[in-house]
Each structure stands twice: as structure tokens, then as C-alpha cells.
Structure 1
Amino acid sequence: MEQLDAGGRPAIAAAVVVHEGRVLIVRRRVSERRLSWQFPAGAVEPGEAREDAAVRETLEETGLTVRALKLLGERVHPDTGRSISYTACEVAGGHAHVLDTDELAELAWVPHAEISEYIPYRLFEPVQEHLDAVLEC
């Protein structure tokens, strides 16, 4: 069954990919309000688990193969109004690069201390707690 948000739009799945002390973020070509830099993410397809969607979207956008570790949580995003889930992931193979040039302008591997330079607003609390736990502060 397709996961839709209150507005009837497909739910969004985001991948929180940590590798070698940094988190992967991507810059969209078109920002959604304050959202320019964000985690790899995209729509959950009908019948697809949120964790699987996060893995698929990361591969489609960045060419990086990741493995889902655990669902960190979900919420209605305060800026977009979209239902979004966040899945902690680890790198399973490949090299991250901008694969989907229609959607992405660039990507970066960011250490904990620099996250706020890219994402200048408070992260969803379960995501922040995960990053605080797995990244060197």
C-alpha cells in the first residue's frame, strides 16, 4: 500500500549516511523553502518499505550503495508539510558523486562540527541524537 501524507502526496524517505566520521548531504538544484542542503531523499514507492526507499534514493541520486541500519523516526516536516522518515545507513560500496544531475547540484561529506554551516536549522531530534552518538563531536 502506498504511503501518503495528509496532503495525499507520497511519503518521503531520507537516508542518514555516516562514513569515516562524516555524514553525507546533498544540495538540491531547487530548494524547498529553507531546504537546500539535506540528506539524500525521495518518494516512497507503492509497496516499498521506508528503509528500502532511503537505500534506493541514495543509490539513484549519488551512485552510493548503502545498507539500512535502523529507522530513526518520522515526522511531518515543518517546512514542507511532507511526511518524512529518516533511516540510519552505512556505506556498502561505491563512491558518492552527483549521479542525478537533474535533482542535485552537489554533495558533501560533512564532519559533525560543520553540519550547521550547511543545515542552519535544528535537525529532527532523533537524527541529531544519532549523529551526536556516531560522529566525533
Structure 2
Amino acid sequence: MEQQNAEGRPAIAAAVVVHEGRVLMVRRRVSEGRLSWQFPAGEVEPGEAREEAAVRETEEETGLTVKAVKPLGERVHPDTGRLMSYTACEVIGGHAHIADTDELSELAWVAHVEISQYAPYPLFAPVQEHLDVVLER
């Protein structure tokens, strides 16, 4: 994967963390367009794999230790224009809390039927397909 998009901005790695039938979503203090609630995510650092970035950002933002399970895909985000990669992750330790108070205002473990209340727009299709399979309905 390219580490930057066409404008030279670093790619963003997002972690799709599912635990006990719910997916972890975080609310940013500063929204990017319609994006207020989203998955833990942040910029991929030079020399860092996208899966490593997703794991690192999850721990930095929420205090959870996760491991990457599988890549779900990548795209240029339609709202932000940023190159995004999505990685399915599972919890291996810790307790979710707002660890990065500068970036996050809230976090929630969201059930399948509640996702549209947090993200009132279509999710990236491979992410939605993954959640349809792994979340309890």
C-alpha cells in the first residue's frame, strides 16, 4: 500500500475491533465532515505497516491491546479524500476507555442494529460485510 495519498498526506489506518458481539467506535472531538463517530484510526507512520498502525492507534486512543486478524481493504474515503485501510482486530487485553483525551470525546461498544445510529452513512462495503458476519444480530 502507498503510505500517502496523492496530496502527500499520510494514509489512515482504521481498526475494526469486535468484542463480545459489538464493534468499538470512537467519537472524535473534531469531526471530519459527517464523520463524528468512527473506528479507532490514525496516520500510518513512515516504515509502519497499515495493520501495525491500526493496532498502535487503538492502544493510543482507547487503551486496548488488540491484534490484527485480517486486512479488510482500502479506499480513498469519499468524505475526507484520505487513503484509508481497514483491519479487523480482536482484543487481547486492557479495558476500553478514552486514553487520548485530546482526540476523543466518547467511545462505545456498538451492536449491529445500532451502527446506523452512530454512522448515518454507508460503511465501506468490505467492512459492512465483515460486521454482518461477525456481529450478533
Please list, as runs of the form range in 1=range in 2, the aligned pairs for 1:8-47 lying within 5 A after superposition: 8-47=8-47
How many residues end up aligned between the 2 structures?
137
CA offset at residue 2 of structure 1? 7.2
What secondary structure is seen at the aligned counterpart in 1 of 2:113?
helix
Could you list the runs of 5+ residues in structure 2 that have no partner in the other structure?
none
**Matched residue SS, 1:17:** strand
TM-score for the superposition, normalised by structure 1 = 0.98
Alignment-derived partner of residue 132 in structure 1 = 132
Deviations 1:18-56 (A, max 9, x none): 000000000000000000000000000000000000000
CA distance in 2: counterparts of 1:2 and 1:93, whole angstroms: 30
Q: Provide the residue aligned with 2:116 in structure 1.
A: 116
TM-score by length of 2: 0.98
> 1:7: Cα distance to partner?
1.1
Q: Shift of the alpha carbon at 1:136?
A: 1.3
Q: CA deviation at 1:96?
A: 0.4
Gaps in structure 1 of 5+ consecutive residues: none
For 1:90 and 1:2, how far apart are their aligned partners in 2?
Answer: 25
Among all aligned residue pairs of Structure 1 and Structure 2, give the percentage whose two residues are the same amino acid: 82
Q: How does 1:55-74 map to 2 (within 5 A)?
A: 55-74=55-74
1:2–1:45: 8 Å Cα contact kept in structure 2?
no
Q: Deviations for 1:59-89, whole angstroms, at most 9, x for unmatched residues?
A: 0000000000000000000000000000000
